[in-house]
């Protein structure tokens, strides 16, 4: 996960449950990964590991609880997960895993500017999502004009200006 629910609560004041906020953060993580075509993988921290009884046997070194990993080249378990426990028997992840011999396990690391960009996207989502589609509002003598969300100003449902932090991380798609 780009940022944990407890960490994001330090930056935003949301009346959402932890489960709902976690779902929003997972959606934003998927948005960032698909928009940039970047997996943010640390290829130096990688191993070919077996999964037995919902645990990764012989996980890569240098992983800690709370780290994000990506499982790829697996028949059953491809995806992005969060490390929840590391013991002598193996590593447990946030999702359910199926037994599989060949899994490429790689650490995922998001730079600080990407993390803060996601925090800003989450703030915008909570504060302004309900106002999308309203161009102007007048109450008595007070008039407010909102940001126009037409085709050129919006990307993936967010203002284009909010996604500028991702430009350095864009990868070519072939």
**Confidence grade of residue 137 (pLDDT, cut at 50, 70, 90):** confident
Nearest to 12 by CA among 136, 116, 109, 119: 119
Region 116-135: mean pLDDT is: 84
pTM exceeds 0.75, yes or no: yes
Residues 83/93, Cβ–Cβ less than 8 Å: yes
Residue 136 has pLDDT above 80, yes or no: no
Cβ–Cβ contacts within 10 Å for residue 43, how many?
A: 8
More confident residue, 134 or 4: 4
| Secondary-structure breakdown of the chain: helix, strand, coil percentages, each rounded to the nearest 5 | 30, 30, 40
| Residue 15 DSSP class | -
Confidence of residue 147 (pLDDT cuts 50, 70, 90): low
Is there a contact between 156 and 35 (Cβ–Cβ < 8 Å)?
Answer: yes
Beta bridge partners of 86: 91
Q: Which residues sit opposite 154 in a β-bridge?
A: 159
**pLDDT at residue number 129:** 77
Give tens-digit pLDDT for 61-100: 999 999 999 999 999 999 999 999 999 999 999 999 999 9
**How many of the other CB atoms lie within 10 Å of CB of 64?**
8
Neighbours of 35 (CB within 10 A): 15
**In the predicted model, what is the mean pLDDT of residues 104-132?**
91
Collapsed DSSP state (helix, strand, coil) of residue 167: helix
């Amino acid at each position: 996960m780009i940022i944990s629910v407890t960490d994001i609560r330090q930056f935003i004041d949301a009346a959402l449950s932890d489960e709902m906020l976690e779902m929003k953060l997972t959606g934003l993580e998927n948005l960032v990964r698909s928009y940039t075509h970047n997996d943010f993988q640390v290829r130096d921290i990688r191993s070919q590991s077996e999964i037995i009884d919902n645990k990764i046997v012989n996980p890569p070194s240098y992983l800690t609880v709370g780290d994000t990993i990506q499982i790829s080249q697996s028949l059953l378990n491809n995806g992005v997960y969060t490390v929840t426990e590391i013991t002598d028997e193996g590593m447990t992840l946030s999702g359910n895993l199926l037994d599989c011999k060949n899994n490429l396990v790689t650490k995922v690391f998001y730079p600080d500017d990407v993390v803060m960009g996601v925090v800003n996207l989450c703030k915008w989502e909570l504060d302004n999502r309900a106002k999308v589609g309203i161009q102007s509002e007048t109450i008595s003598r007070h008039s407010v004009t909102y940001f126009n969300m037409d085709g050129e100003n919006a990307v993936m449902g967010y203002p284009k200006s909010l996604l500028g932090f991702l430009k350095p991380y864009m990868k070519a798609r072939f």
